[in-house]
Chain A
Amino acid sequence: MTNLKPANTTPVADAAAADPAAPAARARSGWRSLLPTMTPWLAIGLVLVAGIGLFGLLGPLFVGDPQQIRDQGLTPPSAEFWLGTTQTGQDVLAQLAYATRGSLQIGLLVGVLATVLSAFFGIYGAYRGKFLDDAFSLFTNVFLVIPGLPLVIVISGFVPRESRGLWTIAVVLAVTGWAASARVLHAQTLSVRQRDYVAASQVSGERPWRVIVVEILPNLLPVIASQFVFAVIAAILGEAGLSYIGLGASNSATLGTMLFYAQNGFALSLGAWWWFVPPGLMIALFGMGLSLVNFSIDEVINPKLKNLRQHRKRARRALRLERDLAQRARRTPVKETDR
């Protein structure tokens, strides 16, 4: 009896000691298949996202007070104020740093909330199937066709301004923005649910939540990641729109509120482009960076797309080769006639 335990464990320990690299390498390649391949576009995306993220995170530490009013109103970009000043002489760069932080904050918050909602309705519904699935699907589709922003505007319109905090706006944006990704997750879960190992774990008596979390969820990770990225973009855009029309969270500073003040300060008719261009550009570049990252995540989800990219690369190379050959062919006859 006392012998049993060591006898059982030795082979495993031996194998690990004999070739420590083998399982580690296998594990790494398993994880690597979940990571996207590096492409120039992915690199651009990562640089954009990381750059803007760092600017939002660290920028506020290096700039002055964004609210400080000076008597140099509406000066164009200069050495002192890199992005000029607003009508009341506030430093646009300082405002931009704080606003970026605010927008990223709400983007992440809504991204997480919306992903949780969509995972619940998409995955749980598809896993349980039958009536619950039909009900959840109907619910999702209904939310999908009801236009989101008008609904958000109406809800925010009814909430009194004092009680319109960051969380209120985040919840409203999440509640109106989860449906599309729930549908994607639903379709993916349906296909994962059919696989044998899921059936095996069900037969062996695993509880439903364990089957979902341990067997199904890891296979959906890339899809969830991609949907999360989409949710963050949508949230930042939605919040910007809401703040721009003055319905954002009270006493918050986001890129949308910056544009709101620029509009109300007649930046457009005064020609103060340095006031209203940077905030929107920041949103657009961050959104572009996230979409580019998403392209690469999509390749992980759908390996066909990766083949596609390689096919494209080959096609490009073939095209170049053809052109070279044609050129050479053209050159050769010329030489022959010369002779």
Chain B
Amino acid sequence: MKAYLSVFRMRWKMELQYRGAVIGGIVCQMFFGLILVSLYRALYAGKPQALPIEAVASYVWLQQAFFRMQLSSDSELMDKIRTGSIAYDLCRPLDLYGYYYARILAQKLLGSLLRAGPMLLFAFLLPRGVGITAPVSLPALIAALLCLILGLLCTCALENITMAFTMRTLDSRGVQAMLNLLMVTFSGNILPLTLFPDSWQRIITLLPYAQILDAPIRLYTGQYALGEAPRVLLIQGIWTLALMGLGILLWRRHQKRLVVQGG
């Protein structure tokens, strides 16, 4: 456990190195948030919906603030496999799944924390209906935070599965792209899942993509009542365990067939 912790700490320190990039990223993300909120406001002006615009605005801002929790691809592992330096990782007396899980976790956690603070502050300062509104209640906020933590564990497990496939092919961009395909849409990043057709929502909220950010946001804005929190957390927990199990299995399998490139 101590080893994984230090992997986590190292990655954490590395993330802190690029502060300039973080600030640029935040400003960029704020701008995207403003564009999206403006669009939904224009749409609402034409045809108001049952879901209040404040909830949509909060949805957009929370999505933008925790943007870094979404799946991404770590080109470092791909380079390691291409150059053969993966051999060093294989020498470590560690389980590789845990090693990479700790790395991804640090990357996502710090990436989100660094960005979420200023982003949410900015969004709170905006006028009502444009910016983010306060959570419906304190217990709802606590439930949303719990849900967010589980969501983080779930997204890391999901990303680690795509990493496992990197070992099979030298150029894994294709496989990664295929695995992450539905992520953009069904995580609510392009269009809030709350604005999808109501009949779709029953199914897409059960997919793992919705566990990452959609579930915590719905608890925050009150789309999920507090009484539903245990059910939501249970679904998240099941997905997290299932994805981790599958990930561990795939890593074991693919590790055996890994070819260390020379030269």
Please indicate whether A and B come from the same complex rather than being unrelated chains. Answer: no
